[in-house]
Structure 1
C-alpha cells in the first residue's frame, strides 16, 4: 500500500515528465531527489552489433518515477546510432517477457533515434514509469552496426544485471519476449545507468573491481552491494539511499597498464580515469565507497605488482576529487589475497590497509579485511566465505553486506 509520502513523490514526478536535451543528465534540487537507481559500468568495446535487439535488464535499488536511461559509447571508434530504445518492467528474471502495458518507447530530445559520438553518453527524456526497489527494468536497444560498448564479466546469479538477445530486427516493442533467446547474466550493451525522481535522499556509488562486480560469487546469492541496498530499503522512506554498483572485474585503482589485458578493453579504464563518467556524473551522488587495489597489488602478465605508494597515491587522488565534488568518501580495506605471510604482496596489502585505516583521507572506513579474513591465517579469506584467493563466494558477499554500519551513510 502506498504511503501519502510516496503518492506525493509520484505526483511531483509526474510534473517533471518534460523533454530533456539528449546531453543533459537529470538533476533537480530539493525534495524529491533525482538519484541513480542502478548502474553497471561499461568496460570496453567488443565488436559490432548485429541486426538484432539487446534487452538489457537492471535491478533498481530504490522507488522512483520519471525514469531516465543512460546509453554510452565511451570506447567506440565510431558513432553509435540508436534506431529505437524501449523501457519496460520484467516480472520474472528468467524470462524476457515484460509486464503487459509497461513497455515505453524512449525519446532523446523528443526524437526516437539518437546518435552518440565516440566517447559520448546520452540520457533519455523522462519516461512515465513507476518502479519500486527490487524491480527489474528492461531496456531494449536496437543499434545495428554500432560499436558494442559492454559489461561482460557475468556473475553467476540470475537476478543481477544481464541481457537477452533477439533474432534479426527491431524487437524492442515485443512485450511477450518471444523474439529473444536465453539470458546472459552480467552482460549488458550500452546501458550503464537508470535514474529517477525518488523519495531516496541520494545515492551511494560503489567504485570497485570484481569483488564489487560480483564475479565468482558462487552460491546464488546477491552481491554485497545488493545486500546493502536491501537493508537500506527497510528504513523509513525519508532515510533511504539508492545504491549504484560501479564495479568492473579486473579494474585497477592506479593508472597503469591493465595486468590482464594489454588492449585495455577487458576491465575498464583505471579508477581515476573513469571516476567522472562512472561516479561523479551520476545524479544524486552523496557517498562514494572505494574498494579497489587487489589487481594492482596482485599484478599479472602485463603489469608487475604495484608498490604501496602507487596504490595509496591513486586512492588519495580519488578521495580528493570526490571531496572536491562535494561528496563523502568511504574507504574499504583490501581483502586477503592468499599471499604468504611476509611476502612482498602481503606487505604491500598490509601497508595500504594500515594507511586506509589511519590516514584520515576517507570520511569513513569499512574494514572488509577484518570482516572476512581467517583468524587462523589472516592472509586468506575464511574458507566458508571464499570462492578463490581474491573473491568471496555468495555467503561472503552476504557477510560483507550485513557487516556495513549504516551510520557510515548517515542512516
Structure 2
C-alpha cells in the first residue's frame, strides 16, 4: 500500500533533509588540544630519607596551558614513597614560598588523596584546574615522611632557578598559602616531582637530553641556561607555532652505558642516557623533538672510569637516535664543546672524531655545531675565555650564545635569531 504525504509533511521532510545535509557538509569539530610536557627536572639518585616535613618544589613552565598534571617518581628508592598529600599552586616569585591566593589545590592521584609509589614507578596526578603561561612558577608541595628521597640536586643557574623549600615544623604544610611554614629557598634541589604536563595549544615539546652543560651547572654571570634562552625565543613566536622546552640534563651524566666517572654508587649523576631514555624522554607527553648534547663525561673520564673511546660514544649516540626515531620523534645532535684537552692528546682526538661523526653521519635529523659556537678561535681545544666558567662548562654569557645560535628551523619553526 502506498502512503500519501500531505504538503505539510513534505515540507517538514525537506527541512529535515536540508538540515542533515548542512550538518554533514560543516567542518567537524576541532579536537581538543593534547597534553604536552611544559617543564621537567630529571631525577638523578636517592639521597637519604624524608623527615616529617613538607617539600615545596618550584618548577618554571615553558608554554601556556591548562589542566596541569604533575608526575611524581621513585626510580631509585629501595622501598615505596608513601605520598600523604600533594598540593599544586602558583608562586609569584620563585624565591618565596608564598603562593598566589586561590591557586593552591590539593591534587588527587587516580581519584585518591594519597598514593604509594612503588620502587621504580611513577604516578601522575589527576588534572588540576590551573592556567599557566611561559615563565610561570608552579609549586608542587609533597608530604611523604619517611620516604626515600629521589632527587635532583645541582649547582644551579642564577635565573629561572629550579629549587624547593622545606617546612620547618612536622606535618603537612601543603595548604599554607602564606609560605610562613617553610624555610629558606634551596636552589637546585627538587624531590620526587620530575615533570609537569598541561593541555596546550603549543605544537609539542622539545626535550634536551644532556649532562651538566644542559643542566645549567654554574651558568653564572646573571643569565639563564641555554635551554631557557631557547625557550624564551620560541615563546616570542605566534601561539600556534610554539613548542615547549623540557630540560632532562643531569650533571655528571654519561651518554654511554659505563660506570660513572665521579661516583661508584651511581647516585650522583643519574643512570647513563640509554638507561634513562624511556623515563626522562620517551614517556613524556607531547614529545616531538629530542636535542642530544652529551659525551663530555665519557670522553673526559674520571676516578672511577677511564676516558671512553670514540666508538663507544658514537655507538651510544647511534642507539639513542634509533630509539627516538622508532618512537616517531625527530632528534637533533649537538657537537661536544672543547674540554681543555691538549691538542693531539687521545681525549682531544676522540672529541674531534665524535664531532666529525655527528656533523657528517646523517644519524641526526639536524646538527647544532655548539663546538664551533664557543671554541676559542686561537685555541680550539678550549672555550673562549669570556664565555667560559671552567674547562667543561660555559658561563651565563656562553649559555646565552648557545641559546641564540640555534636555528629554529631545525624544529620546524621560523628561522629567527
TM-score bucket (shorter structure): over 0.9
Matches within 5 A, 1:64-103: 64-103=65-104
The answer (yes or no) to whether the contact 2:205–2:244 under 8 Å persists in 1 is yes
For residues 208 and 183 of structure 1, the distance between their equivalents in structure 2, rounded to whole angstroms, comes to 26
The answer (yes or no) to whether the contact 2:157–2:224 under 8 Å persists in 1 is no
1:129 aligns with 2:130: yes
Q: Aligned pairs, how many?
A: 383
Distance 1:55 1:392, change over 3 A: same
| 1:183 aligned to which of 167, 182, 185 | 185
Greater alpha carbon shift after TM alignment, 375-384 vs 155-164: 155-164
Q: Deviations over 1:308-327 (max 9, x none)?
A: 00000000000000000000
**TM-score, normalization: structure 1?**
0.92
* Corresponding residue number in structure 2 for 1:114: 115
For residues 364 and 401 of structure 1, the distance between their equivalents in structure 2, rounded to whole angstroms, comes to 16
* Corresponding residue number in structure 2 for 1:18: none
Show structure 2 runs of 5+ residues with no match: 1-29
For residues 157 and 131 of structure 1, the distance between their equivalents in structure 2, rounded to whole angstroms, comes to 22
Q: Deviations over 1:230-289 (max 9, x none)?
A: 000000011000000000000000000000000010000000000000000000000000
* Corresponding residue number in structure 2 for 1:262: 264
| 2:229 aligned to which of 227, 230, 236 | 227
Alignment RMSD, CA only?
0.9
1:310 aligns with 2:312: yes
Distance 1:175 1:48, change over 3 A: same
**TM-score, normalization: structure 2?**
0.91
For residues 77 and 281 of structure 1, the distance between their equivalents in structure 2, rounded to whole angstroms, comes to 22
| 1:336 aligned to which of 338, 341, 345 | 338
* Corresponding residue number in structure 1 for 2:61: 60
Instruction: Give the 4+ runs in structure 1 shifted more than 4 A.
Output: none
The answer (yes or no) to whether the contact 2:58–2:163 under 8 Å persists in 1 is yes
For residues 331 and 160 of structure 2, the distance between their equivalents in structure 1, rounded to whole angstroms, comes to 28
Show structure 1 runs of 5+ residues with no match: 1-28
For residues 387 and 318 of structure 1, the distance between their equivalents in structure 2, rounded to whole angstroms, comes to 29
Distance 1:319 1:93, change over 3 A: same
Q: Deviations over 1:176-209 (max 9, x none)?
A: 0001111111100000000000010100000000
Matches within 5 A, 1:11-410: 31-167=32-168, 168-410=170-412
Please state whether the residue corresponding to 1:378 is helix, strand or coil. strand
* Corresponding residue number in structure 1 for 2:14: none
Please state whether the residue corresponding to 1:181 is helix, strand or coil. coil
The answer (yes or no) to whether the contact 1:289–1:331 under 8 Å persists in 2 is yes
